[in-house]
Amino acid sequence: MPERMKKAQIGGEFVIWIYRFLLIGAIAFALVIIIGNKYTEKFDVRQMESSILSEKIIDCMNSRSNLYPESLKTCLNLNEFNYYIIANITSLETGFNTSIIFGNNDLKVQCDLINRGTKFAKPPLCSNYKYLLLIDDEKMKAELEVDIGKHDKNLQ
């Protein structure tokens, strides 16, 4: 009789180990699913790109000779199809005023429609920035509008 009890105990422990492995496997599977969902979630990096691009625009406008579309295009070296940029620069001292506009005009139209409440399946990112500058010892105010349309490419 004692041999039978030992076999029963061994069989019972074996069944308990099967349940333990199944439980550990279920927990590991749940962790993989949860972590996988978190790290495969798409993140729109266009806002960061817009901020970096606005700072680069300001860096390019270091003298009055660079306050023209051609010089800014050369400095930025962008694919104009994916961007629309408006830079309004006003002198706070002399009244000098200039606007630099270049890029894909369709993005501007879409941003204007978004501001009026229109919904798009893949909307562009529309950002506005204001800076105070010192260009050639003259205080200036820069108002930038940076519109980015690279929806699929920048959604990572």
Please classify residue 4 by burial: count the beta carbons closer than 10 Å to its beta carbon, then call 0-12 exposed, 13-18 middle and 19+ buried: exposed
Under DSSP, the state recorded for 155 is B
Asked if residue 79 and residue 52 are part of one domain, the reply reads yes
Distance CA 31, CA 16 (A): 23
CATH, residue 78: 3.30.1140
- 2 and 71 share one domain: no
Instruction: Looking at the structure, tell me whether residues 104 and 30 fall in a common domain.
Output: no
Q: Are residues 77 and 116 in the same domain?
A: yes
Helix (H, G, I), strand (E, B) or coil at 2: helix
The total domain count for the chain is: 2
Do both 72 and 146 map to the same domain?
Answer: yes
Q: Do 23 and 52 belong together in one domain?
A: no
Q: Which domain holds residue 26?
A: 1-41
What's the token pair of residue 8? 């029963």
Tokens of 153: 């490419």
Query: What tens-digit pLDDT sequence spans the chain (156 residues)?
Result: 556 555 556 666 777 888 889 999 999 999 999 888 877 777 778 889 999 999 999 888 877 777 778 888 888 888 888 899 999 999 888 888 989 888 889 999 999 998 898 888 888 889 999 999 888 888 999 999 999 988 766 555
Which pLDDT tens digit goes with each residue over 120-133? 888 888 999 999 98
pTM of this structure:
0.69
Check residue 103 and give left, alpha or beta (phi > 0: left; psi -120 to 50: alpha).
left
Contact present, 86 and 99 (Cβ < 8 Å): yes
